[in-house]
Amino acid sequence: MKAIYAFGLLILLAFLGSRFIVRHKSLSPLRYIFLSGLVYIFLGMYLGKMSLNILSTQVLDDLTPLLSLGLGWIGFLFGFQFERKYLRRFSKKYIGLSFLNFSLVFVLVSVAIFFLVRELYIEQPPYFLYGMVLAFGLLATVNSPTLLNAASFALPRKGDYCYLARFLASISGFWAILGLALLFSYWHFPFFDSRIILKGSVTLASSTLVPILLGYLFHLLTKKRAQEQDIRVYLLGFVFFISGAAFYFNMPPLYVAMVMGITYSNLTKIQERLYPLLLSLEKPLYIVFLILIGAIWEFKFDTRIALLILVFLSSRILGYVLPMKSFRFLLRFPFPLPHLFGFTLLSFGGVGIAFAVSLKLAYAVELTDVFLSVSLISIIVSDFISPWLLRISLLRLDCKESL
C-alpha cells in the first residue's frame, strides 16, 4: 500500500514539476540546473532513505519497473529522431565528425580512467574494472542539445556552428548506447564461466532483432489510423512492454527502445506530426525518472571518487576541445572549427543520466555504486558549468564566424 501512496506522490510531483521546466530569457548555471531537471535528483535523495524515507528500500523495490520504463521512453524518443529524411539534411562530414569525436573522447577517457582505477581499486577483479573503464569512456561521449536550445535566444546568428553543434549533440548518444548494448552483452557477470562470445552474441542479436520486429508490427497495426492521439497511447504501451521485457531478460532498455524508435520512425509517414506529441509526455515521465534515481542513489564521496571525477571531467573536456582543428583538416570542412567549439558539447542531458543508471540496475555490485556516484556528480558539475563554457566559446569565435 505504501508503494501506491509513493506512486501517487510521484505523479503529483511530476504534474507540478512539468509546469516549472520552462525556458527563461536569461540563462544562468542555476537556472539551467532547473531547466535540465537535475534538481529532481536532489528531491529524490530527500524523499529517499537518506532523509524522509518516503521512498524506502521496500517501496523502491516495488517501483523499480518505473525506472526501466523511464529508460525505455528516453531511448525510444532518442531513436525516434533518427529518421532518414532528417539525417539526409546534414552533410556526411557531420556524421564523420561525430564518429571521430566519439572515438577520440572514448579512447582518451578510457585510457585515463584505466590507469587511475587500476591503482585505486586494485582489490577488485580485473574484468569488473575493465567493464567500468569502458563504461566511463562511453558515458563521456554523450552530449545533449538542451543547453543549445535553451540558449537559442542569445545566439545572434544561427549559422553553421549552431547547426553543427545541435546535430552533434543530438546524435552523439547513438554511439554510446550502441556501446552500452555491447557492454551488456559481453560484460555479463553470470556469463563469465563459459561461452562468453556465443552467449553475448545471442543477447546482442536478440536485443536488436526483437525491437525491430515490434516496431514493424506496431507500424502494421497503426498505419491506417489517422488519430495521432490514439497512436501516442498505443505507442506508450508498446514502449512500456518492450522496456519491461528488456529489464526482465537483463537487456538494456535504453538500447532496445532506441532500436524500436529508429525502426518505427523510418516506417511511419507521420513522424513529424507524432514527434511533438511524444515530447509532450517527456517532462512528467522524466521527472518521475529523476526522482527515482535520486532515491536509489547510494551517495558516496571520498578521495578516490573525487580523483575519478577530476580525471573523468578533465580528460573529457580535453577530448572535445583539443582536436577540433585536426578534425577540420581530416574531413576538409568548409568552415573552420576553433578549439573552443568543443565547449558547446559538454552538457550530458537525459541520455547521459539514463546511461549511468542502466549499469546500476543491471549489476548491483560495489563498483556500479561507485560508477553511479562518479557519473551523477560529474553530470551535475558539468551541466552547472556548461552555460559559462558555452558563453566563453561564443565570445571567442570571430564575429564573422559566430553563431
pLDDT tens-digit series, residues 179-234: 999 888 887 655 455 677 777 788 889 999 999 999 898 888 777 765 766 777 78
For residue 27, give the nearest of 112, 146, 119, 166 by alpha carbon. Answer: 146
Question: What confidence score (pLDDT) does residue 12 get?
Answer: 62
Q: What does 73-135 look like in DSSP terms, one character per residue? A: HHHHHHHHT--HHHHTTS-HHHHHHHHHHHHHHHHHHHHHHHHHHHHHTTTS-HHHHHHHHHH
Mean pLDDT across the chain: 80
Q: How far apart are CA 333 and CA 93, in angstroms?
A: 7
Q: Give the three cell numbers for residue 266.
A: 523510418
Instruction: Report which residue type is found at 292.
Output: L
Q: Give the three cell numbers for residue 158.
A: 544561427
Mean pLDDT of 109-124: 88
Q: What is the b/e burial string over 283-318, where b = at least 16 CB atoms within 10 angstroms of the residue's CB?
A: bbbbbbbbbbbbbbbeeeeeebbeebbebbbebbbb
Instruction: Report which residue type is found at 199.
Output: K
Higher pLDDT, 122 or 4: 122
Question: What confidence score (pLDDT) does residue 9 get?
Answer: 63
Model pLDDT for residues 272-293, shown as the tens digit of each residue:
777 777 777 777 778 888 888 8
Residue 158 has pLDDT above 60, yes or no: no
Question: What confidence score (pLDDT) does residue 312 get?
Answer: 95
> Cβ distance 318 to 111 under 8 Å?
no
Please state which of the four CATH numbers 3.90.1300.10, 1.20.1530.10, 3.40.30.10, 3.40.50.2000 is assigned to the domain occupying 28-396.
1.20.1530.10
Mean pLDDT of 27-45: 79
Question: What confidence score (pLDDT) does residue 198 get?
Answer: 79
Model pLDDT for residues 294-342, shown as the tens digit of each residue:
888 888 888 999 999 999 999 999 988 887 777 777 777 777 777 777 7
Q: Name the residue ranges covered by the structural domains of the chain.
A: 28-396
At 400, is the pLDDT very low, low, confident or very high (cuts 50, 70, 90)?
A: very low
Q: Give the three cell numbers for residue 143.
A: 552530449
Model pLDDT for residues 331-372, shown as the tens digit of each residue:
777 777 777 777 888 888 888 999 999 888 877 777 888 899
Q: How far apart are CA 332 and CA 124, in angstroms?
A: 45
Question: What confidence score (pLDDT) does residue 111 get?
Answer: 94
Instruction: Work out the percent of the chain whose per-residue pLDDT is above 70.
Output: 84
Question: What confidence score (pLDDT) does residue 171 get?
Answer: 85
Residue 5 has pLDDT above 70, yes or no: no
- Of the listed ranges 11-15, 76-80, 243-247, 324-328, the one predicted with least confidence: 11-15
Residue 156 has pLDDT above 80, yes or no: no
Mean pLDDT of 98-116: 91
Residue 373 has pLDDT above 50, yes or no: yes
At 381, is the pLDDT very low, low, confident or very high (cuts 50, 70, 90)?
A: very high
